[in-house]
């Protein structure tokens, strides 16, 4: 199968860039012929003039459309897969692809099309669904949800609103989301998508190797950004009221709060940002991973890595995390430090179960390996390419 990927890199490298690169490599390894068209946002400087100019260029870029048309004419793909369009690529590339009668698949890594913050949250309101069902969501501008800037939020809201009104999103053959929860939210949203347009396909993670419960040590682990929506205050309060050991890996705006907790509670250890190998080592040794997030989350890579290593998970019982972890972990009410403390003590006093750890590992093996995810992705492509061509690629 010939697949053309389109991706717009942000100015600061992030998770979407990593997933795009991983998928390209994964599908090449699976035997597909893959080419890419890549854009950058280097020309957007954040100034007033730059923002105004960028707003106009972000609505429609004939130059970006031409680049994609030239790539299609040269490469002749069976399907085009888009990861990000903001801001240089623009939805003009979707129209360019459809002019060539090529199917379009697009991954939604976040809620950017219906929420200026992209995460269905804002400061003081976590989660937040004020804009989810509004065609022109003015609250995103009112609260400056994008980069704490009303001007930039106005630019983004104008772009997404106008593209909703033009109906460009409804010509995309398939939107890929990461969880069933995200699918439900997108179908509920102002995009007015058809149920058959939105499918669930998670990301893959490398096989980190199963960790024998007998080799685990008696401490709990948090890995991630140190920020309010991640439930850091709940985490610190819960462990501050117990004698259980906690190791924290990461960095962020609440770093000072974490350092203060370390001074007050010797059982809490702060390791800061660590290289990937060190993170994996800690994950394989801990008694359980704690995920106390109060926002919806997407599909946290650290949870998938816990599945890969057979690591028990303690998580905040909100809808999206429940759809990911479910009965493979132990839950507590989001923001409830007292309940989290009880769960920590219960898990610490219980014997580590080989059967439970192996069940977690099997979840990884059946749903999140590169082989399994590549297979699911190719099936999605086969659903949208013409029937005659789909038969050629049947497995």
State residue 54's pLDDT score. 52
Tens digit of each residue's pLDDT (9 = 90 or more) over 154-177: 989 998 999 999 999 999 999 999
Tens digit of each residue's pLDDT (9 = 90 or more) over 221-261: 999 999 999 999 999 999 999 999 999 999 999 999 999 99
Q: State what percent of residues in the chain have pLDDT above 90.
A: 87
3-state SS string for 170-194: HHCCEEEECCHHHHHHHHHCCCCCC
Tens digit of each residue's pLDDT (9 = 90 or more) over 286-296: 999 999 999 99
State residue 58's pLDDT score. 65
Q: Between 337-349 and 232-240, two packed helices, what is the crossing angle to 10 degrees?
A: 60
Tell which residue, 185, 183, 189, has the closest CA to residue 201: 183
Q: Between 301-309 and 354-367, two packed helices, what is the crossing angle to 10 degrees?
A: 120
Distance CA 379, CA 377 (A): 5
Mean pLDDT value of segment 335-345 = 97
Tens digit of each residue's pLDDT (9 = 90 or more) over 256-285: 999 999 999 999 999 999 999 999 999 999
Distance CA 264, CA 185 (A): 41
Mean pLDDT value of segment 108-114 = 96
| Confidence class for position 15, pLDDT limits 50, 70, 90 | confident
Distance CA 77, CA 96 (A): 13
Per the prediction, the chain carries an average pLDDT of 93
Tens digit of each residue's pLDDT (9 = 90 or more) over 23-62: 999 999 999 999 999 999 886 654 443 454 555 566 778 9
């Amino acid at each position: 199968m010939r697949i053309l990927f389109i991706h717009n890199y942000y100015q600061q490298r992030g998770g979407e860039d990593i997933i795009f690169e991983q998928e390209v490599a994964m599908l090449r390894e699976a035997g597909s012929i893959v080419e890419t068209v890549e854009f950058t946002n280097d020309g957007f400087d954040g100034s007033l003039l730059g923002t105004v100019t960028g707003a106009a260029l972000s609505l429609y870029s004939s130059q970006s459309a031409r680049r994609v048309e030239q790539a299609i004419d040269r490469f002749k793909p069976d399907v085009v897969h888009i990861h990000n369009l903001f801001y240089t690529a623009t939805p003009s590339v979707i129209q360019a692809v459809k002019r060539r009668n090529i199917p379009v698949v697009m991954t939604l890594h976040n809620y950017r099309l219906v929420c200026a913050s992209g995460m269905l949250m804002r400061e003081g309101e976590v989660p937040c669904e004020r804009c989810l069902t509004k065609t022109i969501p003015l609250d995103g501008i009112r609260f400056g949800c994008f980069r704490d800037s009303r001007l930039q939020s106005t630019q983004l809201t104008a772009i997404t609103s106008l593209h909703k009104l033009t109906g460009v999103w409804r010509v995309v053959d398939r939107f890929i989301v990461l969880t069933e929860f995200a699918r439900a939210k997108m179908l509920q949203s102002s995009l007015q998508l058809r149920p058959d347009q939105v499918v669930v396909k998670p990301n893959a993670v490398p096989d980190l190797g199963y960790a024998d419960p007998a080799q685990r040590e008696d401490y709990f682990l948090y890995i991630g950004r140190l920020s309010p929506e991640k439930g850091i205050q709940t985490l610190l309060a819960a462990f501050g009221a117990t004698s259980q050991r906690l190791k924290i890996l990461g960095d962020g705006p609440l770093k000072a709060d974490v350092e203060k907790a370390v001074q007050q509670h010797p059982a809490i250890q702060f390791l800061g940002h660590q290289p990937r190998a060190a993170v994996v080592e800690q994950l394989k040794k801990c008694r359980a991973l704690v995920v106390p997030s109060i926002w919806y989350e997407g599909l946290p890579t650290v949870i998938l890595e816990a599945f890969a290593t057979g690591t028990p998970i303690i998580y905040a019982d909100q809808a999206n995390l429940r759809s990911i972890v479910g009965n493979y972990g132990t839950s507590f009410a989001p923001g409830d430090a007292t309940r989290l403390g009880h769960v920590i003590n219960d898990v610490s006093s219980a014997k580590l179960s080989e059967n439970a750890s192996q069940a977690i590992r099997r979840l990884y093996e059946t749903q999140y390996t590169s082989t399994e995810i590549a297979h699911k992705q190719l099936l999605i492509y086969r659903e949208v390419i013409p029937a005659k061509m789909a038969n050629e690629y049947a497995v």
